[in-house]
Amino acid sequence: MTGTVTAWRVLAGCVGVAYPRLMVSNEAERTTLVLALVQMECSEDPDDNLARALEGVEQAARDGARLVCLPELFRSRYFCQREDPAHFALAEPIPGPTTEALSKRAAELGVVIVASIFERRAEGLYHNTAVTFDADGSVAGRYRKMHIPDDPLYYEKFYFAPGDLGFSAPETRCGRIGTLVCWDQWFPEAARLTALSGAELLLYPTAIGWQFDEGSEVDAAQHSAWETIQRGHAIANGIFVAAVNRVGVEGEIRFWGQSFVADPFGRVIARAPADRETTLLVECDLGLIGRTRRDWPFLRDRRIDAYADLAKRFRD
């Protein structure tokens, strides 16, 4: 890993001058992106969380990362465990204090940042939103979580209106980065549409964990299903997929960490531990996307003439 990180630092001086793509290109087919996933614990204090997130970004940039992703709703405890109107006070507009701080830091460090925000769009209208800041601090894209869960301890339908921006993969100086959020992980349609938008990497800010009463066998099966289905998205679409989770115990949930990156073949190339804060620094050889898709040309063979009923709830 160090080889490429070193090569990277040689390029770092160009950042902000000619807006080159923030990657190393050693040969026609090889372009390496150094990605950082900041797996963190989230405390009761939003200011403390923001400060630690910014520190995480800064350290990752110092270590060579050019793209840094934070966990879902990192500014607070995972408040959706209960339906409490008081929690709407945690929301903020975009632009707002969090996006301003992140935009500033992205520009200072010359890195792309993906961050999850509890967005107040209007009085009484809120979203679970991921914002992508380009390396000059500008907003490259915004994604409003499309699939909203509502399960015991995950009462998100109370807080978030379903996203209305659809699926996209904004161009950044690290390439085209697709963002989806947590529950979206379970929907192959979301991954596919984002890949069809040109994404080279799919990032999932996440807040998922175990409940206390389900036993270790169920716990293991849940975690395995979560990682497996996302590896499946990487394989089906021939792209990199990364999930960034929080850690720690909050109320009834033990967040399971284990942030990971899968390559376009679905191989897990890095995985963080379950029980502690970790910044995962991962080299992604973006040349693998083209090579994998040439070997397994699934995009060529999709039967787009026969998929109309995917827009139905059920075929009955």
Contact 144, 165 (CB under 8 A): yes
CB-CB contact of 50 with 75 (8 Å): yes
Binding region for its own copies (CB under 8 A) out of 13-21, 135-143, 200-208, 293-301: 293-301
Residue 72 annotated among the catalytic residues of the structure: yes
Q: Which of 69, 80, 182, 284 is catalytic?
A: 182
- Tell me whether strands 260-262 and 240-244 are parallel, antiparallel or unpaired: antiparallel
CA distance 221 to 213: 14
Contact flag: residue 187 with its own copies (CB under 8 A) = yes
Strand segments (E) across 96-251? 112-122, 125-133, 139-144, 171-172, 175-179, 201-205, 209-211, 240-244, 247-250
Q: Is 182 a catalytic residue?
A: yes
- Per CB under 8 A, the segment of 21-29, 126-134, 145-153, 239-247 that binds its own copies is 145-153
Size of the site for its own copies (CB under 8 A): 53
Site string (297-316) toward its own copies, x via CB under 8 A: xxx-xxxxxxxxxxxxxxxx
Nearer to its own copies, 95 or 297 (CB): 297
- What does DSSP say about strands 260-262 and 253-256: parallel, antiparallel, or unpaired? unpaired
Active-site pick, 80, 119, 145, 250: 145
**Is 100 an active-site residue?**
no
Residues with Cβ within 8 Å of residue 160, at least 6 apart in sequence: 126, 127, 128, 145, 148
x/- letters, 195..234, toward its own copies (CB under 8 A): -xxx----------------------x--xx--xx-xxx-
List 20, 267, 273, 276, residue binding its own copies (CB under 8 A)? 267
Closest listed residue to residue 33, CA positions, set 172, 227, 167, 194: 172
Residue 16 vs 232, nearer CB to its own copies: 232
Residue from the set 115, 146, 247, 289 that interacts with its own copies by CB under 8 A:
146
Tokens 């270590």 map to which residue? Answer: 63
Q: Which is nearer to its own copies, 137 or 232 (CB)?
A: 232
174 versus 235: smaller Cβ distance to its own copies: 235
**Residue 287 binds its own copies, judged by CB under 8 A:** no
Rounded to the nearest 5°, which phi and psi values hold at 275? -120, 10
Q: Which of 158, 152, 196, 200 is closest to 175 using CA atoms?
A: 200
The residues annotated with a catalytic role in the active site are: 72, 145, 182
Q: Give contact residues for its own copies (rule: CB under 8 A).
A: 146-149, 151, 162, 166-167, 183, 186-190, 192-193, 196-198, 221, 224-225, 228-229, 231-233, 235-236, 265-267, 295-299, 301-316
